[in-house]
């Protein structure tokens, strides 16, 4: 009888561990292998976290085009209200304004999302999508919140990380990005 109970407890525990969502760690040196979609064309995109302390810096590289970085101020990470409008990034360093972020939403926007289940960014009102679409990276479900704009035209998957709310996938933006692997 004890063996049966132990086996059942072990089984339940293993199912619970298996069912947990992964939460990729973002730190200096984290590399993201992505696909980017611009005007119906797909191309490979490599993003890398260069700095997470002011200024926040995210590097990008596209084979055959070049590479560069997006630099965001500490204020932008804390309270920005819009995504940088980038369809074709400039080579080298691009310094964003205090109200702009690239590939993340501000901590203030993320807090509003957690508290009110909605937030406004780039003039669009987003709310949690119901039913939510699951975000997977490397075949594993990621702990991300799926949001959609009020008009239903833009959809985002935001990593549930208050310190670095990274946009893991987008649909409906001029340049959509889908993260396929985080190293």
Give the pLDDT of residue 13: 37
Using alpha carbons, select from 58, 73, 159, 54 the residue that is nearest to residue 110. 159
pLDDT digits 0-9 by tens, 131-161: 999 999 999 999 999 999 999 999 999 999 9
Would you say the pTM of this structure is higher than 0.85? yes
Confidence band (pLDDT; 50, 70, 90) for 95?
A: very high
Residue 171 above 70 pLDDT? yes
Confidence band (pLDDT; 50, 70, 90) for 87?
A: low
Give the pLDDT of residue 7: 34
Q: Say how many C-beta atoms besides its own lie within 10 A of residue 121's C-beta.
A: 23
Spans of all domains in the chain: 22-182
Give the pLDDT of residue 88: 77
pLDDT digits 0-9 by tens, 98-119: 999 999 999 999 999 999 999 9
Give the pLDDT of residue 54: 76
Residues 98 and 113: their CA atoms lie apart, in Å, by 20
Query: What percent of the chain stands above pLDDT 90?
Result: 81
In which residue are the tokens 């993340």 written? 104
């Amino acid at each position: 009888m004890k063996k049966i109970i132990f086996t059942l407890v072990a089984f339940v525990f293993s199912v619970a561990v298996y069912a947990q969502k992964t939460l990729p760690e973002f730190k200096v040196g984290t590399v993201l292998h992505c696909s980017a979609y611009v005007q119906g064309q797909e191309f490979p995109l490599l993003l890398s976290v260069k700095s997470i302390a002011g200024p926040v810096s995210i590097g990008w590289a596209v084979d055959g085009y070049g590479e560069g970085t997006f630099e965001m101020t500490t204020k932008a990470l804390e309270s920005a209200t819009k995504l940088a409008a980038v369809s074709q990034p400039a080579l080298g360093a691009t310094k964003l304004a205090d109200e702009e972020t690239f590939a993340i939403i501000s901590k203030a926007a993320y807090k509003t999302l957690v508290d009110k289940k909605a937030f406004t960014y780039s003039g669009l009102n987003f709310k949690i999508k119901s039913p939510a679409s699951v975000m997977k990276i490397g075949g594993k479900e990621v702990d991300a919140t799926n949001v959609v704009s009020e008009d239903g035209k833009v959809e985002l998957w935001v990593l549930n990380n208050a310190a670095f709310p990274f946009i893991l996938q987008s649909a409906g933006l001029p340049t959509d990005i889908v993260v396929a692997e985080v190293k």
